Chains A and B, each alone.
Chain A
Amino acid sequence: MQFICLIYNAEDNGPQPGTDEFGPYMQAYADYTQEVQDAGVMVGGEALQPIATATTVSVRDGKTELMDGPFAETKEQLGGYYILDCKDLDEALKYAAKIPDAKYGRVEVRPVMVFD
């Protein structure tokens, strides 16, 4: 069963580019991705550009409306995700806990809907 791990963090929280911690942080992501690939559970996953690049789209009465910025003005924003194929929630939660940002932000785990 597939689970998506949505990685939420405030952009100014955790290791920042240009600091000594940033290199090991990026390495931790590379190691983690390698681990889930080797375990055969990795389905996909990407990091996202910062929220400054976000545009929110909605269509009302046939008219497309654009908004500069993310859809919700919360401190913690979606920064990336993994989709993992695990045998159950317990296994998915274990892998989610190993995502480097779980230490700084939060990871929301949800099963992916399956349609017949």
Chain B
Amino acid sequence: MLSPVDVSAQIARLIREDWGRILSALVSSTGNYALAEDSLQDAVVSALEVWPKKGIPINPDAWLITVARRKALDRIRRGETADRKSGELALWLEQHRADPEDRDMVIPDHRLELMFTCCHPALEEKSQVALTLRALGGLTTDEIARAFLDKRAAMAARLTRAKKKLAGAGIAFKLPEPEDLHTRTDAVLRVIYLIFTEGCHASSGQMMREELVQEAIRLGRILTGLLPDHAETRGLLALMLLSDSRRLTRRGADGSFVPLDAQNRARWDQARIREGIALTKSALGAGAAGPYALQAAISAVHAEAPSFADTDWPQIVALYDLLYRAQPNPVLRVNQAVALSYADGPQAGLDLLTRIEGEGRLQSYQPFHACRADLLARLGRLDDATQNYRAAIALSQAPEEAAFLEKRMDALNGP
């Protein structure tokens, strides 16, 4: 017999898993996002009350969607929806009453439409992110606010505004037109990647933020399942898995940042690496590689290397060239300079940095100075290195970064 705590944890997990699919089916049939979300929330509250007493139904999805439809009908009857079509909708819901214990009910999957809707470019990007976490991830407003270090009221207002726009602006619940599919899919990938990077920036102890990483991976898996032919979707999932494989080794016991060359490779997550490498290969094999697939490929080369010194640096240098061609951003050249310094020596890396120092806003980009400091130190130019470390420290935003660089700088004059 499960304890009540186990039961509620099991229920919470079930609901979290199924939330997006059930919500997508409800939005598809009601055509009203806010009503669908409120009604599903009502059904969840009922489930948390009823299931611990009567047991979890055989088909929990059928139970939730059936109860949610009833709740939607209640809400319409109470006159809560200002929807012009609420009369028709009430009739439809009336006709589609079902038995919550129906074990054969098949719930259609409209998560792809839901993703494209939440990531519609007519919504502000941060709202796209929040809405995606709410609609597909089943996170509560509280959880999303905590994850983004926002005030609850501000996040609630943002979500309300976004839902009003969905309701009134004429954003259709549908897949994009074929000519828009490419850019619209890119927007969905960007939202998932933003969720991921936000989670990566969490310092230890910020549980909700760390969970964003797992949530982004889950969304990436769902999208990969829904768009099996889209190489960049696989590329993104691969990139996230490979990066996450090093999560445990990226920080020391005291929470300090541990660079790649000092990480304990034995503790890298091999299951994540195997899956990430397989996805990278399939994403690269599908024609012109996109930026996510190329970043995944770079991460895969690191993952496959037995040690930092035995890394295939020329391969990484070449991959950065391809990535720069797909996405001409001078920041990539800074990363490439690191790889080049191990492939052809620190002077080669330094020459590359000298070539690009006037580009973009590299002068205010902390890693540019940190990288140059490291290369100068390896060339024995200690005074120049110290000067560059100072510039990098001044530009550091996180205290752990500054602490890491200070330690490096102090080591220059050490024993």
Interface set, chain B 171-189, CB cutoff 8 A to A: 171-172, 174, 176-177, 180
Report A-chain residues with C-beta under 8 Å of the C-beta of B174: 88
Interface check B122, CB cutoff 8 A: yes
Q: Decide if A89 touches B84 in the complex (CB within 8 Å).
A: no
| Complex CA–CA separation, A101 to B169 (angstroms) | 22
Main secondary structure, interface of B, reads loop
Interface check A14, CB cutoff 8 A: no
Report B-chain residues with C-beta under 8 Å of the C-beta of A3: 170
Q: Decide if A114 touches B169 in the complex (CB within 8 Å).
A: no
Taking the nearest CB of chain B, how far is it from the CB of A113, in angstroms? 9
Taking the nearest CB of chain B, how far is it from the CB of A69, in angstroms? 31
A-B contact count (CB 8 A): 27
Taking each of B169, B170, B171, which has the highest tally of chain A beta carbons within 10 Å of its own beta carbon?
B170
Interface check B55, CB cutoff 8 A: no
Q: Decide if B84 touches A88 in the complex (CB within 8 Å).
A: no
> Which A residue sits closest to B170, measured CB to CB?
A89
Interface check B306, CB cutoff 8 A: no
Interface check B168, CB cutoff 8 A: yes
Report B-chain residues with C-beta under 8 Å of the C-beta of A87: 172
> Which A residue sits closest to B180, measured CB to CB?
A90
Report A-chain residues with C-beta under 8 Å of the C-beta of B168: 111
- As a 0/1 sequence over residues 98 to 116 of chain A, the CB contacts with chain B under 8 angstroms (1 = contact) are 0000000000001100101
Report A-chain residues with C-beta under 8 Å of the C-beta of B170: 1, 3, 86, 88-89, 92, 111
Taking the nearest CB of chain B, how far is it from the CB of A89, in angstroms? 4
A89 in contact with B180 given A114-B84, A116-B84 (CB within 8 Å): no
> Which A residue sits closest to B184, measured CB to CB?
A90
| Complex CA–CA separation, A3 to B172 (angstroms) | 14
Report A-chain residues with C-beta under 8 Å of the C-beta of B171: 88-90
Q: Decide if A90 touches B177 in the complex (CB within 8 Å).
A: yes
| Complex CA–CA separation, A93 to B171 (angstroms) | 11
Taking the nearest CB of chain A, how far is it from the CB of B376, in angstroms? 48
Report A-chain residues with C-beta under 8 Å of the C-beta of B180: 90
Report B-chain residues with C-beta under 8 Å of the C-beta of A89: 120, 122, 169-172
- Interface residues of A, count at CB 8 A: 13
Report B-chain residues with C-beta under 8 Å of the C-beta of A114: 84
- As a 0/1 sequence over residues 74 to 101 of chain A, the CB contacts with chain B under 8 angstroms (1 = contact) are 0000000000001111101100000000
Q: Decide if B172 touches A88 in the complex (CB within 8 Å).
A: yes
> Which A residue sits closest to B84, measured CB to CB?
A116
Report B-chain residues with C-beta under 8 Å of the C-beta of A86: 170
- As a 0/1 sequence over residues 13 to 47 of chain A, the CB contacts with chain B under 8 angstroms (1 = contact) are 00000000000000000000000000000000000
Taking the nearest CB of chain B, how far is it from the CB of A78, in angstroms? 20
Report A-chain residues with C-beta under 8 Å of the C-beta of B176: 90
> Which B residue sits closest to A3, measured CB to CB?
B170
Report B-chain residues with C-beta under 8 Å of the C-beta of A116: 84
| Complex CA–CA separation, A3 to B177 (angstroms) | 19
Interface set, chain B 135-188, CB cutoff 8 A to A: 168-172, 174, 176-177, 180
Taking the nearest CB of chain B, how far is it from the CB of A84, in angstroms? 11
Report B-chain residues with C-beta under 8 Å of the C-beta of A88: 170-172, 174
> Which B residue sits closest to A87, measured CB to CB?
B172
A111: which of B84, B120, B169, B177 is its contact (CB, 8 Å)?
B169
Report B-chain residues with C-beta under 8 Å of the C-beta of A90: 171-172, 176-177, 180
| Complex CA–CA separation, A3 to B120 (angstroms) | 18
Report A-chain residues with C-beta under 8 Å of the C-beta of B172: 87-90
| Complex CA–CA separation, A90 to B122 (angstroms) | 9
> Which B residue sits closest to A114, measured CB to CB?
B84
| Complex CA–CA separation, A111 to B168 (angstroms) | 7
What are 23 A-B interface contacts by the 8 Å CB criterion? A1-B170, A3-B170, A86-B170, A88-B170, A88-B171, A88-B174, A89-B120, A89-B122, A89-B169, A89-B170, A89-B172, A90-B171, A90-B172, A90-B176, A90-B177, A90-B180, A92-B170, A93-B122, A110-B169, A111-B168, A111-B170, A114-B84, A116-B84
Enumerate chain B interface residues (CB-CB to A < 8 A): 84, 120, 122, 168-172, 174, 176-177, 180
